[in-house]
């Protein structure tokens, strides 16, 4: 379950930020999860509940926003959004498409004390 490793990494980032920015507690965290991140939200939430115990983020609320993937068709020059991997343009069905990276899981915002 790589979600637990991700959760541990998130806690490590929060602890590093607490040292550099002088805060003692994390109350809320807003995460962005890309459509192609291959992260299962339920497993990530379980991992966060475990990884934050007895840390500065113990009891913090985690908000997860799902961001769609974007692609561009070389044939019809259309930009499209997707929440799953696609192999062709949804408009003209060309296979000449380019995907923007949408596999990120990132911390977007924090509420701290």
Strands of the 79-82 sheet, one edge to the other:
79-82, 69-73, 97-99
Q: What is the mean pLDDT of residues 90-112?
A: 93
What CATH number does the domain located at 2-68+102-112 have?
A: 3.30.2320.50
Give residue limits of the domains in the chain.
Answer: 2-68+102-112
27-64 tens-digit pLDDT:
999 999 998 888 999 999 999 999 999 999 999 999 99
Asked if 89 and 76 touch (Cβ cutoff 8 Å), the reply is yes
pLDDT score of 1: 59
**Band of residue 91 on the pLDDT scale cut at 50, 70, 90:** very high
For 78-93, give one letter per residue: b (16+ CB within 10 A) or e: eebebeeeeeebeeee
pLDDT score of 83: 81
Q: What is the mean pLDDT of residues 8-21?
A: 98
Measuring CA to CA, which residue among 78, 69, 79 is closest to residue 100? 69
pLDDT score of 10: 98
């Amino acid at each position: 379950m790589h979600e637990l490793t991700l959760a541990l990494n998130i806690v490590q980032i929060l602890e590093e930020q607490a040292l550099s920015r002088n805060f003692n507690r994390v109350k809320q965290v807003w995460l962005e999860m890309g459509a192609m991140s291959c992260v299962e939200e339920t497993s990530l939430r379980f991992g966060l509940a475990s990884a934050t115990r007895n840390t500065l983020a113990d009891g913090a609320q985690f908000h997860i926003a799902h961001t769609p993937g974007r692609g561009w068709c070389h044939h019809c020059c259309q930009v499209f959004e997707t929440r799953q991997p696609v192999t062709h343009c949804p408009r003209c069905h060309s296979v000449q498409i380019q995907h923007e990276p949408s596999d990120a899981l990132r911390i977007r915002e924090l509420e701290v004390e």
